[in-house]
Amino acid sequence: MQRTVEAFESKLDTLSASNTEEDEEDIEDLAMDLLPRLPSYPQDIPEYALRDLEGTGDMTPQEYISFIIPASRKDEDFPLIEGTAQRFAREMREPTPKVREALIHLESNTTENVESAVVDNDRHWMRGL
């Protein structure tokens, strides 16, 4: 089921990026505005979690995101890590498809070290992994 959701999310990302009429410069500008809002590794991860996990361990960036998002929801001492397009769209008062496209741009077309993974049916983006 998780693989199906990930495949569907990936297809949505591709369609979103290829069917937009937004000017590429607007997407690039929005992407740069989004960058400082993304959860960051290791800055947004509590010291004890970094120590216990020995950094990211042997996990890929996608595995780490898939692990750390639910962990942040379960531990009240752990700051909530939320990197969805929906969250950023609400905060920035921008349409979700435009924000999603900007996040895809950050992940695919820049050297900003942005990664994403599907967690509980939502794609989450993080940087620094």
Domain residue limits at 82: 2-127
Residue type, 3: R
Residues 96 and 104: beta-carbon distance below 8 Å: no
- The Cα 14–Cα 102 span in angstroms is 12
pLDDT tens-digit profile of 65-104?
998 888 888 877 777 889 999 999 999 999 999 999 999 9
pLDDT of residue 77: 74
pTM: 0.78
**SS3 state of residue 118:** strand
pLDDT of residue 37: 96
Residues 107 and 114: beta-carbon distance below 8 Å: yes
Give the phi and the psi of residue 114 in degrees, each rounded to 5. -100, 135
pLDDT of residue 74: 82
pLDDT of residue 19: 47
CA 122 centroid distance within chain = 9
E strand spans, the chain: 114-119, 122-127
pLDDT of residue 14: 53
- The Cα 88–Cα 116 span in angstroms is 14
pLDDT of residue 115: 96
pLDDT band per the 50, 70, 90 thresholds, residue 128:
very high
Residues 100 and 85: beta-carbon distance below 8 Å: yes
Residues 107 and 115: beta-carbon distance below 8 Å: yes
* Residue 4 pLDDT greater than 70, yes or no: no
**Total domains in the fold of the chain:** 1
Question: Quick one: what percent of the chain has pLDDT higher than 90?
Answer: 50
* Residue 117 pLDDT greater than 80, yes or no: yes
